[in-house]
Amino acid sequence: MTDDGLRITPTRRELLRSAVRTLSRVWRSAPAQLLAYLAVALVGSAAPVMVAWLTRAVLDHVAQHRTGSLLGLALAITAVTTAVAVASHAAQYLRAEVDRRTAASAKDELFAAVSRSTGLAGFENPAFLDRLRLAQQSASHPGRLVDTTVSAASGLVTVVGFVGSLALISPAFTVLVLLAAVPALLIEMRLSRRRTAMLWRIGPAERREAFYAQLMSTASAAKEIRLFALGDFLRLRMLAELRTANAARRRVDRQELLIQSGLAAASAGVAGAGLVWAILAAGDGRLGIGDVSMFVAAIAGVQGALNVMVAAGVMAYEHLLNFQHEVSIVTAGPDLPLPAAGRDLPPLRRGIELRDVWFRYSDDHPWILRGVDLFVPHGQTVALVGRNGAGKSTLAKLLCRFYDPTRGAILWDGVDIRDVPPQALRDRISAVFQDFVSYELTAAENIAVGDLALAGDEERIARAAREADVHDTVTALPHGYRTLLSRGFASEQDEEADGVLLSGGQWQRLALARGFLRRDRDLMILDEPSSGLDPEAEYEVHRQLRKLRSGRTSVMISHRLGAIRDVDRIVVLADGVVAEEGGHTALLADGGVYARLFSRQAAGYRDDDMEPTGALQ
């Protein structure tokens, strides 16, 4: 089965490589703990064999009335069982410690790989999101492979110990017991593959279930859910997804129940036959009482240990199948093609040109841009205007190279932006997106994320806040710039962790300040920078923007046409192309799309309910 290039059942070689990779990571993350864990596990696994031999000796001594050394044997049994009890607790602690340390490095590696992806398409790909979810699960318990390896190794020690003892009594039974384990292992591995494939299949249902659950526990969604009484609707949808996933799990569980019951019955049959043989042999005088006890303990021990080994093998296999998701993310190549030689991107001198740019989000999606030709001259402001869905934000994302044009090219002073590393391009850009992020960090940090190199520069942060008309708001907060902008981390120990919430417009101004902190960049992209601002703030912000923009290159997207009438050039996007282009006055005179949009908006500000007239209709 394949999905988006990922095989659910990898080859043996891939599994082996994954096993080496995950075990070497465990070794690098927690070498001392791993060695101690192995030592303790070894003690635990040798103990049953030692106890069986000591019991045999006790029984033989009793049968032969040799009571002299019984006390010593009893003390030895006590010492061994005490060591086992202590070892089991130590193993538990060491196992958890190995898991904790390895999980930290696994998550580090996984999220470093996720952050390395330069484009956005991966986050819009359901297969990638499923893989990421499974990879996170795998990275949360990376020590499982060690557990299973240790279990298998302990089982092997026990098996070897008992097989030796069993072979002394009955070589034929030894072979039979060992052979019986082979089909069990093969069948269990097949079941394991089925389980992993099922987990992959139910991934979308589990993601939807998580989405509904998260929606019902999110403050931002709580208003609408209550007002529109969506609680039952969302809960039922969540339960429907859960039932779908549960039905698939149940089917596999039932298959496993049937098959594993059969395997258990077969193994009990072998043990029963052995017991009958041992009793008959004891009756004939071929086995002593100690031999019978040893034989019974050895059969149970070998079968039990083989079961442990089979289960460990299956778990290791399952873990490695899941680990494949992690490996595929960590070793994935760049999501956007990178230039062979990482050349630098010089400061903008002439301008940015979109040459016959076509774009759609994927082969299954409609064309958004259908041959856009546009020039953004250095030092000028170009405003993008158009109806909802015209592709304005898409064009802004292409300028930042979050996606590559499906056809055509974007040239920075004549250099195709695909020929420079994405980070070199982005270092030259400042942007305020329409769907900016409200970070649950302090006010200062919310601005500083615009340029982390300036995180300690209080003066620059305050200046950006003043330009975005948010400085007074921030200084009035309980801890000023140190105020946490979240109510989600309240704690009795830390007074400052109990933060505050901002209004929509205040958040927008902070996002603007974030963009202003990068004022020295070559290109500024502002996507609806003032949509949530009150009229005074909007006036103030646009006054600042005019100041900041002057002599700088910027692309501004706005539905507030009054705010962009003074820009150098207005570009109207419609039907995926540049439909109109020019200054405000010229476009009004042309009487096209811009004139119609402008006059409709202007009519809303007039007292009289006048319909647009003349060319503007």
Ligand X SMILES: Nc1ncnc2c1ncn2[C@@H]1O[C@H](COP(=O)(O)OP(=O)(O)OP(=O)(O)O)[C@@H](O)[C@H]1O
| C-alpha atoms less than 13 angstroms from C-alpha of 131 in its C-beta half-sphere | 24
Nearer to ligand X, 124 or 458 (CB): 124
Q: Which of these segments, 72-80, 270-278, 284-292, 391-399, binds ligand X (CB under 6 A)?
A: 391-399
Nearer to ligand X, 392 or 521 (CB): 392
Q: Which of these segments, 63-71, 105-113, 229-237, 385-393, binds ligand X (CB under 6 A)?
A: 385-393
| Count of C-beta atoms within a 10 Å radius of residue 435 | 8
- Closest CB 433 distance from ligand X, rounded Å: 10
Nearer to ligand X, 389 or 488 (CB): 389
Nearer to ligand X, 57 or 555 (CB): 555
- Closest CB 365 distance from ligand X, rounded Å: 5
Is 183 a binder of ligand X (CB under 6 A)? no
* Three-class SS of 14-71: HHHHHHHHHHHHHHHHCHHHHHHHHHHHHHHHHHHHHHHHHHHHHHHHHHCCCCCCHH
Nearest partner of 372 among 354, 398, 352, judged by Cα: 354
Nearer to ligand X, 44 or 391 (CB): 391
Is 31 a binder of ligand X (CB under 6 A)? no
Q: Tokens in use for 358?
A: 């076509």
- Closest CB 123 distance from ligand X, rounded Å: 9
Judged by CB under 6 A, the residue of 319, 325, 392, 428 near ligand X is: 392
Q: Is 5 left (phi over 0), alpha (psi -120 to 50) or beta?
A: left
Per the CB < 8 A criterion, the answer to whether 373 and 356 are in contact is yes
Nearer to ligand X, 193 or 370 (CB): 370
Is 597 a binder of ligand X (CB under 6 A)? no
Calpha distance 289→276 (Å, rounded):
14
Is 390 a binder of ligand X (CB under 6 A)? yes
Q: Which of these segments, 33-41, 383-391, 507-515, 560-568, binds ligand X (CB under 6 A)?
A: 383-391
Q: Tokens in use for 236?
A: 């039922």
Residue 182 parent element (H or E): helix 171-201
Per the CB < 8 A criterion, the answer to whether 458 and 443 are in contact is no
Is 386 a binder of ligand X (CB under 6 A)? yes
Q: Tokens in use for 171?
A: 């070589």
Angle at 147 between CA 146 and CA 149, to 5 degrees: 60
Judged by CB under 6 A, the residue of 361, 367, 439, 539 near ligand X is: 361
Nearest partner of 131 among 209, 199, 59, judged by Cα: 199
Per the CB < 8 A criterion, the answer to whether 547 and 379 are in contact is no
- Closest CB 132 distance from ligand X, rounded Å: 17
Judged by CB under 6 A, the residue of 33, 394, 446, 554 near ligand X is: 394
Nearer to ligand X, 297 or 384 (CB): 384
Judged by CB under 6 A, the residue of 391, 408, 421, 422 near ligand X is: 391
What track of x and - describes contact with ligand X for positions 313 through 332 (by CB under 6 A)? --------------------
- Closest CB 182 distance from ligand X, rounded Å: 51
Residue found under tokens 């170009």: 382
- Closest CB 536 distance from ligand X, rounded Å: 24
Is 405 a binder of ligand X (CB under 6 A)? no
Nearer to ligand X, 27 or 402 (CB): 402
In Å, the largest CA–CA distance within the chain is: 123
- Closest CB 134 distance from ligand X, rounded Å: 23
Nearer to ligand X, 146 or 396 (CB): 396
Helix (H, G, I), strand (E, B) or coil at 527: strand
Q: Where are the alpha helices (DSSP H) in 375-518?
A: 392-399, 422-426, 443-448, 458-467, 471-475, 504-516
Calpha distance 80→76 (Å, rounded):
6
Nearer to ligand X, 53 or 367 (CB): 367
Nearer to ligand X, 164 or 389 (CB): 389
Is 575 a binder of ligand X (CB under 6 A)? no
Q: Which of these segments, 80-88, 237-245, 384-392, 607-615, binds ligand X (CB under 6 A)?
A: 384-392
Helix (H, G, I), strand (E, B) or coil at 286: coil
- Closest CB 84 distance from ligand X, rounded Å: 58
Q: Tokens in use for 575?
A: 């039907």
Nearer to ligand X, 311 or 390 (CB): 390
Q: Where are the alpha helices (DSSP H) in 64-170?
A: 70-116, 126-140, 144-169
- Closest CB 366 distance from ligand X, rounded Å: 7
Calpha distance 464→178 (Å, rounded):
74
Q: Which of residues 421-440 bind ligand X (CB under 6 A)?
A: 434
Judged by CB under 6 A, the residue of 393, 446, 473, 599 near ligand X is: 393
Nearer to ligand X, 303 or 394 (CB): 394
Who's near 555: CB < 8 A, 6+ residues apart?
Answer: 376, 381, 382, 383, 384, 396, 399, 523, 524, 525, 526
- Closest CB 559 distance from ligand X, rounded Å: 6
Judged by CB under 6 A, the residue of 66, 89, 250, 365 near ligand X is: 365
How big is the chain by its Cα radius of gyration, in Å? 35
Is 301 a binder of ligand X (CB under 6 A)? no
Nearer to ligand X, 271 or 390 (CB): 390
Nearer to ligand X, 386 or 499 (CB): 386
Q: Which of these segments, 181-189, 211-219, 308-316, 360-368, binds ligand X (CB under 6 A)?
A: 360-368
Q: Which of residues 101-160 bind ligand X (CB under 6 A)?
A: 124
Is 368 a binder of ligand X (CB under 6 A)? yes
Calpha distance 488→482 (Å, rounded):
16
Nearest partner of 184 among 271, 269, 298, 260, judged by Cα: 260
Per the CB < 8 A criterion, the answer to whether 592 and 579 are in contact is yes
Is 450 a binder of ligand X (CB under 6 A)? no
Judged by CB under 6 A, the residue of 31, 334, 389, 488 near ligand X is: 389
With contacts defined by CB under 6 A, how many residues of the chain interact with ligand X?
A: 13
- Closest CB 495 distance from ligand X, rounded Å: 40
Nearest partner of 401 among 368, 364, 354, judged by Cα: 354
Calpha distance 168→453 (Å, rounded):
74
Angle at 280 between CA 278 and CA 282, to 5 degrees: 65
Nearer to ligand X, 378 or 596 (CB): 596
Query: Could you list the residues that contact ligand X (CB under 6 A)?
Result: 124, 361, 365, 368, 386, 388-394, 434
